[in-house]
Amino acid sequence: MQKMKLVVVGNGMAGMRVVEELLKISPDLYDITVFGDEPYPNYNRIMLSPVLANEQTINDIILNTREWYAENNITLYTSARINKIDRKNRLVIAEDGTTAEYDRLLLATGSKPFMLPITGANLDGVIGYRDIKDTDEMIATAKTHQHAVVIGGGLLGLEAANGLKIQGMDVTVIHRNEWLLERQLDKTAGKMLQKSLETKGLKFQLNQNTKEITGKNGRVSNVHFADGTDLPADLVVMAVGIRPNFALAESAGIYCNKGIVVNDTMQTYDPRVYAVGECVAHRGISYGLVAPLFEMAKVCANHLANFGIGLYKGSVTSTKLKVTGVDLFSAGDFRSGAEAGDEEREEIVLHDAVGGVYKKLVIKDDKIIGSVLYGDTADGAWYFQMLRDNKPIHEIRDSLMFGQDSLGNTGHQGNDKAAAMTNEMEVCGCNGVCKGTIVKAIQDQGLFTIDDVKKQTKAGSSCGSCVGLVEQILASTLGGGYAPPSTSKAICGCSDLNHEQVREEIRSKKYLNIPDAIKGMTWRTPNGCATCRPALNYYLLSTWPHEAVDDPQSRFINERVHANIQKDGTYSVIPRMYGGVTTPDQLRKIADVADKYAVPMVKVTGGQRIDLLGVKKEDLVDMWKDLDMPSGYAYAKGIRTVKTCVGSEFCRFGTQDSTGLGIKIEKAFDHMWAPHKVKFAVSGCPRNCAESGIKDVGIIGVDSGWELYVGGNGGIKTEVAQFLCKVKTAEEVLEYSGAFIQIYREEARYLDRTVHWIERVGLDYVKKRVIEDTEGRKAAYERLLYALQGAVNPWAERVQNREKHKEFETITV
């Protein structure tokens, strides 16, 4: 079958991002032809500032090499400006006469610098700041000339000024407003920034309007201002804004209004023609930052691939200034109540003028609507995430200003500020990746997302404790190009659906096995991948207990063989000891088994039971038979242990029978699968010897009953469990904790621990479901008991039905 023809006009970041996304999801659908009017393949325009500042070279910022176009069978025309679209014959025509036919046309013509309409703007030496050519000209001029004037104190203007200063020029920035970056900063932060840039040697004239530019022999020599003064100038950079470049589309009769008008699928008024990037006007807005372009590109590629899902609904943007040594971050609407004429706005401000730190959060209706950070931007990405997600903040309001506090985790020596780290310092302790490696990968390979960095460097891809740090490094390396991942991201590369959508589909369409689910939800892969299959299997089982088919091949090895795989391929065996209580008989049996199978190590675990390590796979079933004890599920995304202290039966301080309750809970919830591992603890008094404060459900006995705590975690990041409620009887403990766990089982994403789930939905929500809604609580508890009905000990089942479990036998030839 003949392929359709896709022509892309514009070889920049937006257009090529669409092509990359398209190749990922539907590589064989189109013959692709790309026209670009610059002589280079696609490069990273946002990295032009580091090039000007001598921090990178042009070669460093090329995103797609000519080889890449060749490998993907893309026909590339460079230095080829399209000046006509013949929509009737579906043809584009370049200046040099080259033509190309299309079935689909993608316009990604970008924007152009706005040049002030003043006398002298056309003199030599008066330029905008947009592309490699402009950058080269600035570097060349700096070698032979001295005076530079930058008109415009916005992001681009300041980056140009900083670069020209580093190139050795004497630079003055002319700005119309009272302070710099007025669209990104409030006055306080703007003045702090100015002071810091002045120490770098930059000069500023604020509240100043440019009137005229004069020259000698056709080249600029002076800039004149409205107040009658003037400055000598060998180079003038106009950085007063950009304008969408839509002349081509307009000349072809495609509807434009300050940009090429597109709908939420990035389609123009001509259904065969799509447009993305800075050239479009979407819901009346044109974006000049890279993050929205990528969001548009994803949607556009999806529709070009005929998948027809995904809508672009506009972006909230954030900015960072890429000037080394200056940290600022801004997002949303940061105007105070008085400035915006809005009495409902509140502000939280931290200002250390001497230390050079300023932070302002603007809050309305319990949500962050804007933020300005200067000097310490480590939490920028975190605030921005909450802003985008409209997250209520009252639960964390008192500590909000002090940051996420999430990075003092184990494994990276307490380093929690990416900016303060040297290139040699280790970021990812699991995979041994240092900061320099990550920064280099981001720059050289043009990475924009956490997932890209994980894939290319492995940093953050194992235990995940350093992801926050990696995110900071990404944000500070990319500046304005950084787009925090959406919290509702796709389940994996096999589908565009997120976890919640997958769960809803399984519920509403009643899928009962993986092949039906994958087919029904139009997965891109024939049988998923190692990421989505375990998640799907869990979602099917938890949504349709007793009906859905468990697929052992979609489970991780540990759950498939009910033992924990070790680094040498042997397994560990941990029998259940309910509540951590054992007997001389059990101990003798364990000792005999350890002898018989020459178990290399016998170890007491942190969960109050005994681990037999180094067991061969073919010995597992025999060993289980000899042990004749139930599986401890020490390998499961499911109920692990219920840790207990001695309690009132022996302890002189004990107020409640914690051991008895622990055993009762462990028996009641035995065999339970969950999104991740689930640990309980029961302490008999507030001395809390069972460490209830760091468990998914921690229970503490007090004289008048039991206190329930939820969402604790002793792992990668220590999380103290939060108080849920106090109840009187052991039966109530079972009902409340069971309902809590069941709602977590039904609503959390696969691999969310309880703490992650609570972080997302909020403790208020959990309280509403478990405490306030009595009927709902009882029903949830009933659903859990129903799901666990008839569950069998998996070890005994394998002992009884060896024939069905050939997996444990090794074939010898």
Contact residues: another protein, CB under 8 A: 455-458, 461-462, 525-530, 533-534, 552-557, 561, 565, 567, 569, 617, 806-807, 810-813
CB of 519 to another protein, least distance (A): 12
Q: Minimum distance from CB of 107 to another protein (Å)?
A: 32
Nearer to another protein, 418 or 441 (CB): 441
Please, which residue, 518 or 739, has the CB nearer to another protein?
A: 518
Q: Is 470 helix (H, G, I), strand (E, B) or coil?
A: helix
For tokens 């109540």, the residue is 337
Residues composing the chain: 813
* Residue 688 Cβ vs another protein, minimum distance, rounded to whole Å: 36
Which residue, 17, 48, 61, 52, is CA-closest to 443? Answer: 61
Rounded CA gap, 463 and 429, in Å?
Answer: 9
Shortest CB 558 distance to another protein, Å: 8
Which residues touch 504 (CB under 8 Å, ≥6 apart)?
none
The string over 68-85, giving b where at least 16 C-beta atoms fall within 10 Å of a residue's C-beta and e elsewhere, is bbeeeebebbbebebeeb
Instruction: Choose between 202 and 494: whose C-beta lies nearer to another protein.
Output: 494
Min separation Cβ 528 and another protein, Å: 6
d(CA 794, CA 171): 75
Task: Give 121 or 565: the residue with its C-beta nearer to another protein.
Answer: 565
DSSP string, 632-666: --TTSSBEEEEEE--GGGT-SS--S-HHHHHHHHH
Distance CA 366, CA 515 (A): 44
The conformation of residue 429, written as its DSSP 8-state character, comes to T
Minimum CB distance to another protein, residue 456 (Å):
5
In degrees rounded to 5, what are phi and psi of residue 734?
Answer: -60, -45
Instruction: Give, as one character, the DSSP assignment of residue 485.
Output: P
The pair of structure tokens assigned to 263 is 């709908």
* Cβ-based nearer residue to another protein, 216 or 806: 806
- Shortest distance, CB of residue 343 to another protein, whole angstroms? 53
Minimum CB separation of residue 536 from another protein in Å reads 12
Helix (H) or strand (E) holding 618, with range, is: none
Contact indicator for 512, 540 with CB cutoff of 8 Å? yes
Distance CA 617, CA 772 (A): 48
Contacts of 375 (CB under 8 A, 6+ apart): 192, 327, 328, 352, 355, 356, 357, 358
461 or 659: CB nearest another protein: 461
User: Is the CB of 568 or the CB of 595 nearer to another protein?
Assistant: 568
Rg (CA), the chain: 31
Determine contact, residues 533/514, Cβ cutoff 8 Å. Answer: yes
User: In this complex, which beta carbon is closest to another protein, that of residue 88 or of residue 806?
Assistant: 806
Nearer residue to another protein within complex by CB, 265 or 462: 462
Closer Cβ to another protein, 108 or 540, answer by number: 540
Residue 646 phi/psi, 5° resolution? -70, -40
Distance in angstroms (rounded) separating the CA atoms of residues 360 and 682: 43
Interior/surface letters 532-550, b for 16+ CB within 10 angstroms, e for the rest: bbbbbbbbbbbbbbeebee
Q: Which is nearer to another protein, 39 or 552 (CB)?
A: 552
Structure tokens at 298: 């994803």
Q: Which is nearer to another protein, 377 or 570 (CB)?
A: 570
Could you tell me which residues come within 8 angstroms of residue 812 by beta carbon, excluding any fewer than 6 positions away?
none
Closest distance to another protein from the beta carbon of 744 (Å): 24
Nearer to another protein, 501 or 531 (CB): 531
38 within 8 A of 45, measured Cβ to Cβ: no
Please state the closest distance from residue 565 (CB atom) to another protein, in A.
6
Shortest approach of another protein to residue 561 CB, angstroms?
8
Q: Which tokens hold the place of 723?
A: 């108080």
Output the CA angle 132-134-140, nearest 5 degrees: 100
Minimum distance, C-beta of residue 550 to another protein, in the bound complex (Å):
14
The CB-of-804 to another protein minimum distance in angstroms stands at 11
Q: Report the alpha-carbon distance of residue 29 to residue 231 in Å, rounded.
A: 57
- Cβ closest to another protein, residue 75 vs residue 527: 527
Alpha helices in 378-466 (DSSP H): 380-389, 397-400, 435-444, 450-457
In order, the DSSP letters of 51-74 are HHTTSS-GGGGBSS-HHHHHHTTE
